[in-house]
Amino acid sequence: MAIVPGSGDAPAQYTLRAGEARLDLNARLGQPLVLRHTGAIACTHCGRATKKSFAQGYCYPCFKKLAQCDTCIVKPETCHFDAGTCREPEWAERHCFQPHVVYLANSSGLKVGITRATQMPTRWLDQGAIQALPIMEVDTRQQSGFVEMLFKEQVADRTNWRAMLKGEVEPLDLIAERDRLMASLDSGLAGLRERFGADSLRPLDAAALHFDYPVLEHPQKIVSHNFDKQPEVAGTLLGLKGQYLLLDTGVINLRKFTGYEVCVA
């Protein structure tokens, strides 16, 4: 799904990409929706047919050879580029050796995260965050991983997706949280600046962003649909949040099924 932030008081706008077709999901709120998995799965990188999807959209050979599927993508501090063992050095130079932003977000409570500067605000909308605040810019993905590790000593780095979908999230003063964390982690941040250079970690003086989502009704009990167990998912569309469809029959994370051939009605 493609998500763009709403303007003014309007909620985020969701578009379902189905082949060449584009479906305005906001316009389908309150209406029946049927998603039917045909059984076909294609690798999003090479296009070959695969019986099982790995890392949200890849066949097994691509999963094993692509740098974007390596462990260091989810644990940037373990980057092994300098050791000469990167799977795709040219890809890493384009994606990992680019400015990254460390941020605070509120999706199910306070969390820390990292993203390329070009991925804001898409990253936060994908997570279902109701608030986000960029707090620091660094030169590389590895550096962002080390900063995130420091913050993880005091704040979560994951979203409780069930709480996020239930709408059980209170607004936070992200500016105050940023100042509190920066002060308490000052010595650790100083150590990283000494290691990578005085200008490697650059604090940002940004305003907190707020996001609204098109939800008619939050689920009280989470029932999760899975195309691998249930080829057809149907129900009345009650909401859209993060990469989830909220139906009266349950919820489904469409990002999890990237590469699946699905018919929509």
Same domain as 206, residue 113? yes
Which one-letter DSSP state was computed for residue 226? -
Q: Where do the H-state alpha helices sit in the chain? A: 60-65, 71-74, 89-95, 122-127, 141-151, 161-166, 174-184, 186-196
By CB atoms closer than 10 A (0-12, 13-18, 19+), residue 50 is: buried
Strand partners, 174: none
Q: Which of 255, 199, 225, 242 is nearest to 35 (CA)?
A: 225
**pLDDT at residue 142, rounded to an integer:** 97
Reading the chain (265 residues) residue by residue, the pLDDT tens digits are: 899 998 888 999 999 987 778 999 999 999 999 999 999 999 999 999 999 999 999 999 999 999 999 999 999 999 999 999 999 999 999 999 999 999 999 999 999 999 998 999 999 999 999 999 999 999 999 999 999 999 999 999 999 999 999 998 999 999 999 999 999 999 999 999 999 999 999 999 999 999 999 999 999 999 999 999 999 999 999 999 999 999 999 999 999 999 999 999 9
Instruction: Look at residue 100 in the predicted model and tell me its pLDDT.
Output: 97
The answer to whether residues 17 and 46 belong to one domain is yes
CB neighbours of residue 149 within 10 Å: 16
Identity of the amino acid at 170: E
Single residue among 193, 210, 227 that ends a domain in this structure: 210
Residue 61 is assigned to a structural domain of this protein: no
pLDDT value, residue 19: 72
- The pLDDT tens digits for 221-249 are 999 999 999 999 999 999 999 999 999 99
What range does the domain containing 23 cover?
2-55+214-264
27 and 43 inside one domain:
yes
**pLDDT score of 32:** 98
How many domains does the chain divide into? Answer: 3
Rounded Cα–Cα distance for residues 176 and 157 (Å) = 18
- Residues 51 and 24 grouped into a single domain: yes
Count CA within 13 A, CB hemisphere, residue 238.
16
In a domain, 167, yes or no: yes
Same-domain status, 162 and 131? yes
> Are the beta carbons of 264 and 37 closer than 8 angstroms?
no
Residues constituting the chain: 265
> Do 24 and 70 fall into the same domain?
no
Asked if residue 198 and residue 129 are part of one domain, the reply reads: yes
Tell me whether residue 60 is in a domain. no
Question: Which pLDDT score is estimated for 9?
Answer: 83
- Tell which residue, 142, 104, 143, 109, has the closest CA to residue 124: 104
Chain CA centroid to CA 121, Å: 10
For 45, other C-beta atoms within 10 Å of its C-beta total: 17
Could you tell me if residue 75 is inside a domain?
Answer: yes
Q: What angle do CA 134, 125, 1 make, to 5 degrees?
A: 145
Residues 151 and 202 in one domain: yes
Dihedral sign computed on CA atoms, order 22, 25, 27, 33: positive
Q: What interhelical angle do 186-196 and 174-184 show, nearest 10? A: 70
User: Are 200 and 220 within one domain?
Assistant: no
Residue 150 lies in a domain: yes
For residue 35, tell me if it sits in a domain.
Answer: yes
Residues 204 and 222 reside in one and the same domain: no
pLDDT of amino acid 35: 96
Angstrom distance (rounded) from CA 65 to CA 85: 12
**Are 109 and 176 within one domain?**
yes
Are 107 and 181 found together in one domain?
yes
> What is the pLDDT at residue 169?
92
The token pair that represents 77 in the structure block: 């501090």
